[in-house]
Structure 1
Amino acid sequence: MAEFVHVTTAAVARRVRRSGIAARGHARRGVYCMPVLPSFTFTYQWVRELRRWHPGVLVAVHLRLPDDEPVTVGHYNAEPRQLTAAQAVAAIRGLDDPRGWEVFVPRSITVAEVRRIRDVPQGVGWRYLPGAHGRRPCPCPACVTPGQFKSARLSRRYDL
């Protein structure tokens, strides 16, 4: 059985305990998750990025899927590959840098597959994109949205 982690808001935790994780999405309906890896930081890498879009506290839902479960795996901005759950875990574990990788389960997760729900530190992982720490933000108008943190200063830098 392959072990995965799904990150969601704490407000949804009671519903997940009662009825599992609902498949969501527009074009493809399913659940995004990450395999449990030996590195705590890599396992919960999506927490910090998801905090930008989901207000409140995030929690980790640990789930166990059958090894032959069909899933898609890939980097978040690349075309995903169709693999089984066990192959997806092996593929991500074999990477030197698994930051930005994700697994997509194209169905809902049942209550029986949910193992536990735990609190996680809210600052774990990366923001904006993997490896962005220490790089200056792009000051062009396409990348800086009005009202964004320090957007006026970035706009002035672009005009110079």
Structure 2
Amino acid sequence: MALFVHLTPAANAARIRRSGIRAVSRGPDGSKGVFCFPVLPSYTLTHQWLRELARHGGPRGLVAVHLRLPDTASVTVGHYSNRPGRAHTDVTASEAVRRTAALDDPRGWEVFVPRSVTRAEIHRVRAVRQVTGWRYFPDSNGREPCTCYGCRVRGEYGSRRLRRRRPHPFDGPAPATPVLLRRIEEAGDPGDPAELRAALRWLGTRRRGPLDRVARLADHPDPTVRAALAEAVGPWRTPGAEALLRRLAEDSDEDVREAVDLTDRLGGD
């Protein structure tokens, strides 16, 4: 039997002891299941995800749920970034433990069980030290914090003081879509890359966008503009957005293709 640990808010402990862990998390391919990590000899590595998950874990902190899975159980293992060379692959539970233990640096790696975990598979639920692990990403300690729209967390302890001390250029309300489209038109043809990237950055904060007005930028000669277009269109639910992303996924520039990989629209494709 392979032993894993699942970190969850303490408020869920009683329910988990009673009925197991529900499959509510979304995996790399969009399926529902449970994230966990192999129990390694190192306490710190085993519970490395605790501080990052604790940012949204509730006032009572997190608890560690140890679960035993059959060695032949189907899981996926990979790095949370899901980048080439670190993407999630289908393996057995025992193989996931072996691969993770063999890594020189297993920080940021995770195991996904594509189903719920039954009560019979729960080994124990215990308290865990709340100061273990990394926040934001491995090796983030010592780096200047980012206060952009995508990185900051509303209501996080000290976030208001941090934004006041380190204001970000994109702070404040986003310009209206017509204003951004006017900036794109005024940037010229093919257009100033800096102006286009700035406008696309704001358009990327929306759930839908003017796809027909920005699709031409997929042919822009500057790859940084094409990458910015991929990042902006990624969260859109506008009809035709997926087709444009697939086109950008075949771009000749590696950074553009990687920008598409960072979006969750084409996660498993």
Q: What TM-score do the two structures reach when normalised by structure 1?
A: 0.91
**2:257 equivalent in structure 1:** none
**1:47 equivalent in structure 2:** 50
For 1:26-47, what per-residue CA distance to the aligned partner results, in whole angstroms no more than 9, with x for missing partners?
A: 5321000000001000000111
SS at match of 1:30: strand
Provide the rounded CA distance (Å) in 1 between the counterparts of 2:148 and 2:123: 45
**1:115 equivalent in structure 2:** 123
**2:101 equivalent in structure 1:** 93
**1:8 equivalent in structure 2:** 8
For 1:85-141, what per-residue CA distance to the aligned partner results, in whole angstroms no more than 9, with x for missing partners?
A: 000000000011111110000001011110000100111000010110111224656
Report whether the alignment pairs 1:64 with 2:89: no
Amino acid at match of 1:153: R
Provide the rounded CA distance (Å) in 1 between the counterparts of 2:77 and 2:116: 17
For the 8 Å contact 1:145–1:151, the answer to whether it is kept is no
Report whether the alignment pairs 1:153 with 2:175: no
**2:32 equivalent in structure 1:** 29
Percent sequence identity is 54
Provide the rounded CA distance (Å) in 2 between the counterparts of 1:156 and 1:33: 34
For the 8 Å contact 2:80–2:110, the answer to whether it is kept is yes
For the 8 Å contact 1:30–1:108, the answer to whether it is kept is yes
Amino acid at match of 1:110: T
Structure with the higher strand share, 1 or 2: 1
Report whether the alignment pairs 1:124 with 2:132: yes
SS at match of 1:21: coil
For the 8 Å contact 2:24–2:33, the answer to whether it is kept is yes
Amino acid at match of 2:22: A
CA separation of 1:114/1:132 partners in 2, compared to 1, >3 Å: closer, same or farther?
A: same
CA separation of 1:156/1:23 partners in 2, compared to 1, >3 Å: closer, same or farther?
A: closer
Q: What TM-score do the two structures reach when normalised by structure 2?
A: 0.55
For the 8 Å contact 2:25–2:35, the answer to whether it is kept is no
How many residues align? The count is 159
Provide the rounded CA distance (Å) in 1 between the counterparts of 2:11 and 2:154: 30
CA separation of 1:125/1:13 partners in 2, compared to 1, >3 Å: closer, same or farther?
A: same
Query: Which runs of 5 or more structure 2 residues have no equivalent in the other structure?
Result: 171-269
Higher RCO by CA contacts (8 Å cutoff, separation 6 or greater): 1
Provide the rounded CA distance (Å) in 1 between the counterparts of 2:8 and 2:152: 27
For the 8 Å contact 1:141–1:155, the answer to whether it is kept is no
Provide the rounded CA distance (Å) in 2 between the counterparts of 1:114 and 1:146: 34
1:154 Cα deviation from its structure 2 partner:
1.3
